[in-house]
Chain A
């Protein structure tokens, strides 16, 4: 359908975005790859020298590496499960007729609008603090010992905070999808005597699959780089219990100021993120076919 002229015009219009993104990707990437082969510590200028694969070797043998890898996956998958399941449930609920639906939507959307650092600070201090936090006060009111969230369940606490931030996003996308559900088909199924769960499983869920795919894809991209929440709450600890790959790279490049090592970590993180992405596309990409 497209003529040669419009094809050329299309290329022209596409090129600024592509060129800019390509530069944004390749320049830092090239610098990072270069740094990753150097012995390069910002605090000790003048000692830069070629290091070969030393930095990579060192990064992979870091005792925190494997825990960080596992924590990263746990965090991403945990948040995805909570937000997708919770999002579907909320979307189905909010799609029902009720009074004040607009206000409920406003309440539900709110966490998505809060800066990550603010929400981490609020959860850490005002809610989860085992002495002065509200949860501790509630526990005391019930005669229970307060629960020390960040010491006893650091990763789970972070998952909870991040899931709280992303639940609105999932809910809203799924709710929009719900609203285009074919009501006549639903009613026909109901006439045929299909139960609520049958209808949910065989009509609602398939209809939502595309939306769920989008939620998973977009959230994964953002979740792989979750960082502020960890820095503010647990600082990766206790031990390495809540250190993710991103956080490990942070420790190396911003605490040790070991740019060489941090760069190697960054490259490893990019490769792993892309493996996750490819895996994801294989698994759910077919839902995205247009």
Chain B
């Protein structure tokens, strides 16, 4: 980097960036803080930022009331399952679009994206009936299938843009050396595509984890993920801010931590071919 910045300018940039960053992050911070307050303190007309009696009461209550770990396990299974299934279907498709493009590849990609345009509320009844008839209501399998299909277009697109950046010459060289199609994919393409696949995986886990329409509407007790867990803490009778905050913190913490630790990979993949 050939840029030179004076200390002063760097200090100002730092200050402004940190300020904005904290403002953006503040709602989450506030939720976490509120989760350690008592219910009465949480609605104090003169809210205190840090100087209140910290309590773990809300976490205890939430844990007593609901099986957090069951919901957590369901969320994880559904997010991971639909992502892996999605990748298995999408990798060959993206490969083919990137390396054997046809005249209609672009249109195909746009058509795939357009399948996301149907408002989920409009098709809930048909999908509910299909799920009922196939015995997939309230099962992880059912949700994995639905979420795979919901997110497939995004996965295909991300992988496609990633694969396109891989120079075709390398593949041809491999082919000259007598590599078969499967070994070409396995030994040449995959290693080069691993970073792209990793970020696709991450983004898709986030999308699936946070999906809150199908996960809420197609489950009851057995497959209910964290979105359903949250729905049992929103607006009950009585004061609920602190308990809601505790439940919210527990619902978003896993994905927040995952996202933070892997943000480099995530960011790299988030370009959707926007960077050339």
Contacts and interface: CB of A to CB of B under 8 A. Distances in A.
B1 interface: yes
Contacts of B168: 1
Given A140-B45, A172-B267, A266 B13 contact: no
A242 interface: no
Contact of B20 (A7, A90, A269): A90
A99 B21 CA distance: 13
Given A110-B256, A125-B244, A180-B275, 13 more contacts: A28-B123, A97-B13, A101-B17, A103-B21, A108-B24, A109-B267, A113-B252, A116-B210, A116-B212, A126-B245, A173-B272, A211-B274, A253-B122
B93 A98 contact: no
Interface residues of A, number: 107
B30 A126 contact: yes
Interface residues of B, number: 94
Contacts of A93: 13, 16-17, 20
Interface of A: 1-2, 6-7, 9-11, 13-14, 16-18, 20-21, 24-25, 27-29, 31-32, 35, 42, 90, 93-94, 96-101, 103-119, 121-123, 125-127, 132, 134, 137, 140-141, 164, 167-169, 172-173, 175-177, 180, 183-184, 187, 210-211, 213-215, 217-218, 221-222, 224-225, 227-228, 232, 245-246, 249-250, 253-254, 259, 262-263, 265-267, 269-270, 273-274, 277, 281, 288, 290
Given A21-B112, A270-B119, A107 B25 contact: yes
Interface of B: 1-3, 5, 10, 13-14, 16-18, 20-22, 24-25, 27-28, 30-31, 34, 43, 45-47, 89-90, 92-93, 95-97, 99-100, 102, 108, 110, 112-127, 129-130, 149, 152-154, 156, 164, 168, 172, 181, 206, 209-210, 212-213, 226-227, 230-231, 234, 241, 244-245, 248, 251-252, 255-256, 259-260, 263, 266-268, 270-276
B148 to A, nearest CB: 8
A266 B119 contact: yes
Contacts of A108: 20-21, 24-25
A18 B119 contact: no
Nearest to B121: A250
B120 A227 contact: yes
A100 to B, nearest CB: 7
Contacts of A273: 114, 117-119
B140 to A, nearest CB: 18
B252 A253 contact: no
Nearest to A262: B122
Given A118-B252, A132-B241, A281-B110, A109 B123 contact: no
A14 B232 CA distance: 42
B45 A28 contact: no
A113 B222 CA distance: 25
Contacts of B25: 107-108, 110-111
Nearest to A259: B125
B46 A137 contact: yes
A127 to B, nearest CB: 6
Contact of B267 (A18, A176, A232, A274): A176
Nearest to B242: A126
A101 B16 CA distance: 12
Contacts of A281: 110
A121 B248 contact: yes
B260 A134 contact: no
Pairs A-B, 10 closest by C-beta atoms:
A266-B122, A10-B100, A13-B92, A107-B21, A17-B93, A10-B96, A211-B274, A31-B126, A273-B117, A107-B25
A183 B1 CA distance: 8
Contacts of B210: 113-116
Contacts of A267: 122
A274 B117 contact: yes
Given A11-B96, A214-B272, A270-B119, A21 B149 contact: yes
Given A10-B100, A97-B10, A106-B260, A211 B118 contact: no
Contacts of A107: 21-22, 24-25
B206 A113 contact: yes
Contact of A126 (B18, B31, B89, B113): B31
Contacts of B226: 115
Contact of A277 (B114, B252, B256): B114
B263 A28 contact: no
A148 to B, nearest CB: 16
B121 A227 contact: yes
Given A183-B3, A213-B274, A214-B273, A117 B231 contact: yes
A105 B99 CA distance: 34
Contacts of A96: 5, 10, 13, 17
Contacts of A172: 266-267, 270
